[in-house]
Amino acid sequence: MPEPTPAIELRELTKAFGSCIANSGINLRVNAGTIHALVGENGAGKSTAMKLLYGIYQPDSGEMVVNGQERRWSSPADAIAAGIGMVHQHFMLAGPYSALDNILLGAEPLRSGLIDRNMALKKLDALATQYGLPVDWHRPVEDLPVGIQQRIEILKLLYRRANILILDEPTAVLTPQETNALFENLKKLRSQGKTILLVTHKLKEVMAFTDRVTVFRSGKVVNDLKTSETNPQELADLMVGRKVTLRMTAEAMAVGASTITTGTTQQPERARSRPLHGSTDVPAIEITGLTVQTGRRPKLSNLTFSVGFGEIVGIAGVEGNGQSELLQALLHPRRDEFHESLGSKTSGTIRFLGHDVSHCSAAQVRDLGVAFIPEDRQREGLLLERSVRDNFLLGMQRESSFRRWGFLNSQKITLAAKRAVQEHDVRPADLSLSAGKLSGGNQQKLILAREFHRQPRILIAAQPTRGVDVGAIEFIHDHILGARDAGAAVLLVSSELDEIFALSDRILVMFEGQIVAEFPRGKVSDKELGLKMGGA
């Protein structure tokens, strides 16, 4: 058979940022009409290579060939004109504006000098029907679920006639149902000749939906494989450069297995010698009758549950069913702060370590020994323009260990930050670098370095491995399990069912602001859990 036509060829592509070489001699071939995955650790060079292809960066050397023609871009506008589109991990949408306005921005159809919205709507309706991507065109984007926001990003590319679609961590913010819907749509796009490059860390998705996979490590391509001829363990080992432990899958947990799967080797799960609620009868976290009313419909309705010492309670649910409101209520329990931030009426009690915190500030809650891993690391966890050192100190400015004679001690802060960054493998380990210049996974590890430095008695972890690589997932899971084994209470909020199954001692299901089901470890299948998440 003739050799398939390549839609993209990168030849010896190199890009450096100062002394940091992000891409070194990248060679990549992507055939037209295929779904091609790019995998690797955070900072391995995948996203940089795609930003070169999309015109955000310009290469220092090497060639880019698109549909048989050598190309160089001065900006993304050149790449878009050549039929290349990119959906970034953090969506590029203007929240207060409608889906229609976001799609038309920069590509407005004009008639007699005026924007012809009716013509645009007809075209978008046809695209949405053709690819199964329905959207409410007139609602503000900030009011739409993240799965719908991603549809808007994809429709934005299709509206601009993109034939090559680059998707950077497309399922990082999606539920399992939304993920399945996305890949069904991607297969439709592939069947109509579109070429899709998928930057991802999720090996299960790579195996299920892609044709080929290219592995990056330390800025280089280390292997290119046909998906049907590899397996998750081989890919994980290639990505990290060592043997990696792949934690149990949802399917294993569904039948109550208490094993960790590493290739074909079955290892016993780490021992849990502590009693379910630790050595005290008082729960570490106790929520009673928590109700949050915003407008006519409650966001949380009579929420009641507890988390014991030395226990991980996982909350599963489709995003938008009250998880964010619960997290905000726990992080900002003082009622006046909560009303000011959300315009809501709140009732019920929240107790941490036996203390009613309804009138406590966020700082007072942290002083009790509560650590938070926020669901949106960029908006809620970091000051992106400030240094790694400053972000490590964030929230700990008042602690005596960082002060001398009542003043902040720069030497103590620097030594502690350096040690924490090294222990948590934040790359690069440059304390002066702004947090915004770190990859997503390294931003997450920086948050962990800060929160675990405080040796928390309570850990509230929201989407702790969203958008991070397999090596970082292993690292983060080990830290969460270590906190539990040290006696901390852990509340885990995650849209990753595999993560919920792998870590939770108990699973609670949230639907429309209520706890609708509770399951002990190993006593529910992924199918049953999915039905409960959908309100069945």
User: What is the C-alpha to C-alpha distance for residues 302 and 349, in angstroms, rounded to an integer?
Assistant: 10
Looking at residue 173, what is its pLDDT? 64
- Looking at the chain, the domain(s) classified CATH 3.40.50.300 span 6-239, 285-533
Type of residue found at 44: A
pLDDT for the residue 343 = 59
* Terminal Cα distance for the chain, rounded: 50
Tell me how far the alpha carbon of residue 105 is from its chain's centroid: 26
Q: Using CA atoms, how far apart are residues 464 and 452, in angstroms rounded to an integer?
A: 13
Helix (H) or strand (E) holding 124: helix 117-131
CA-based nearest residue to 498, from 235, 134, 131, 246: 246
Give me the pLDDT at residue 263, please: 32
Whole-number pLDDT of residue 401: 81
Phi, psi of 417 (to 5 degrees): -65, -45
Q: Which amino acid is at 233?
A: Q
CATH placement of domain 6-239 = 3.40.50.300
**Residue of 457, 521, 515 lying closest to 323 (CA atoms):** 515
- How confident is the model at residue 258, as a pLDDT? 33
Cα(238)–Cα(534) distance, integer angstroms: 37
**Positive or negative torsion for Cα 521, 508, 498, 133:** positive
Q: pLDDT at position 175, please? A: 62
Name the token pair of 466: 């969203």
Structure tokens at 194: 């579109």
- φ, ψ dihedrals at 523, nearest 5°: -115, 20
Burial of 199 (0-12, 13-18, 19+ CB in 10 A): buried
pTM comes to: 0.69
pLDDT of res. 249: 40
Per-residue confidence (pLDDT) for residue 177, from 0 to 100: 67
Question: What contacts 95, CB < 8 A, 6 or more positions away?
Answer: 140, 141, 142
CA 146 to CA 132: how far, in whole Å? 17
Nearest in space to 536 (alpha carbons), one of 524, 207, 343? 524
Please report the pLDDT score of residue 251 as a whole number: 38
Helices 526-533 and 176-191 pack at an angle, to 10 degrees, of 100
Question: pLDDT of the chain along its 536 residues, tens only?
Answer: 566 679 999 999 999 988 888 999 999 999 999 999 999 887 789 989 999 999 999 999 999 999 999 999 999 999 999 999 998 877 788 888 899 999 988 777 777 777 788 888 998 999 888 877 888 999 898 888 777 888 898 888 888 889 999 998 887 666 666 778 788 888 988 998 999 999 988 888 899 999 999 999 989 999 999 999 999 989 989 998 887 766 544 333 333 333 333 232 233 354 444 444 444 568 999 999 999 887 667 889 999 999 999 999 999 987 778 898 899 899 888 766 545 554 568 889 999 999 999 888 888 999 999 999 998 888 889 999 999 999 999 988 888 788 888 788 899 999 999 999 999 888 888 999 999 988 777 899 999 999 999 899 999 999 898 767 777 788 889 999 999 999 999 999 987 888 899 999 999 999 989 999 999 988 888 778 878 887 77
Task: Copy the structure tokens of residue 341.
Answer: 């931030």
State the number of CA atoms in the 13 A half-sphere of 381 facing the CB: 28
User: What confidence score (pLDDT) does residue 275 get?
Assistant: 41
Give the per-residue pLDDT at 267: 33
Task: Supply the pLDDT for residue 438.
Answer: 87
Nearest to 87 by CA among 160, 145, 137, 156: 156
The residue with tokens 């852990």 is: 490
Q: How far apart are CA 526 and CA 250, in angstroms?
A: 6
Tell me how far apart the alpha carbons of residues 17 and 21 are, in angstroms, rounded to a whole number.
6
Both tokens of 418, joined, read 């350096």
- Topology of the domain covering 285-533: Rossmann fold (3.40.50)
